[in-house]
Amino acid sequence: FRTQQAAASKKRAEAVQSLEKLTETQTALRSSKQNVQTKLTEARSLLSKLTAEEKARLAELERKKEAEAKEKAEKLAARQAAEAKEREAAEKKAREEAAKETGGDSGSGSGSGTGTSPGTGPGTGTGAGGSYAAKAEKVLAFARAQIGKPYVWGAAGPSSYDCSGLTQAAWREAGVTLPRTTWDQVEVGTRVATSDLQPGDLVFFYDDISHVGIYKGDGMMIHAPKPGANVREESIYYMPIYGSVRPA
């Protein structure tokens, strides 16, 4: 009996020891699980924070790109305007010199030469230019009066316009009938280079010729931009230029 009692006591001690080890193991597992959960929460929080920072960084980069593009467009517009003024000054000087030379020849010639000079010399070209300028003035006056009216696709006035509807209505004021769409309007009149633009010219945009505006000078135009926007003035360099046309 004593032998069996001793054996039982030994087994009981071993069982107690095993239970203690099991308890320690369970405690360690619970602690490990808690640590894992804590680290997982921290990792998720860090990931969320990094994502927000990345979004903010991308948004800042986008803002910088837009600002750089706008600055580039403004510089280009300013350079184009300066070049245009230089050309105008040179042309004016050339006309003045030509007028002086014509005046000198007429003074030394006959009276009939003086009488025919305005009709056959530079006056004829000035008259043609003046005619286009007068039409362009009517076109731009009409376009300015539409500023603030909403863009509506397919609209041609008087309360709303799309891009080609505005150009068609504006040139109608000058007595010139234009087709309805940008694809047809680009085929009317005389093609002109961007560097040779004059007020009233039509400027077309994108490779698919899907937009058009009315040039007003100094690199600016009046146009009906897009749905949700109103007729407004804007730089012609805001969009990729396809080409330009002088309708009359």
Model confidence at 110: pLDDT above 60: no
- The share of the chain scoring above pLDDT 70, in percent, equals 82
Model confidence at 158: pLDDT above 90: yes
Number of H helices, E strands in the chain: 5, 6
In a domain, 138, yes or no: yes
Say which amino acid occupies 137: E
pLDDT in tens, 146-155: 999 999 999 9
In a domain, 185, yes or no: yes
pLDDT of 235: 94
Q: Domain residues for 202?
A: 131-248
The residue ranking higher by pLDDT, 190 or 103, is: 190
The residues assigned a catalytic role are 163, 211, 223
CATH number at residue 239: 3.90.1720.10
- Residue-averaged pLDDT of the chain: 81
pLDDT of 64: 83
In a domain, 197, yes or no: yes
pLDDT in tens, 73-105: 777 767 767 776 777 777 777 777 766 765 544
Paired strand residues for 234? 221
Average confidence (pLDDT) over 235-247: 93
Q: Are 220 and 234 in contact (CB under 8 A)?
A: yes
- Using CA atoms, how far apart are residues 56 and 233, in angstroms rounded to an integer? 32
- pTM exceeding 0.85: no
Cis preceding-peptide flag for 158 (omega within 30 of 0): yes
Say which amino acid occupies 136: A
Q: Are 131 and 247 in contact (CB under 8 A)?
A: no
In a domain, 178, yes or no: yes
Residues 6+ apart with CB under 8 A from 209: 182, 183, 186, 242
pLDDT of 35: 84
Model confidence at 160: pLDDT above 90: yes
In a domain, 40, yes or no: no
Model confidence at 38: pLDDT above 50: yes
In a domain, 51, yes or no: no
Q: What DSSP state is assigned to residue 245?
A: E
Number of domains, the chain: 1
pLDDT of 213: 97
Q: Angle of helix 122-145 relative to helix 111-120, nearest 10 degrees? A: 30
In a domain, 114, yes or no: no
In a domain, 234, yes or no: yes
The residue ranking higher by pLDDT, 171 or 50, is: 171
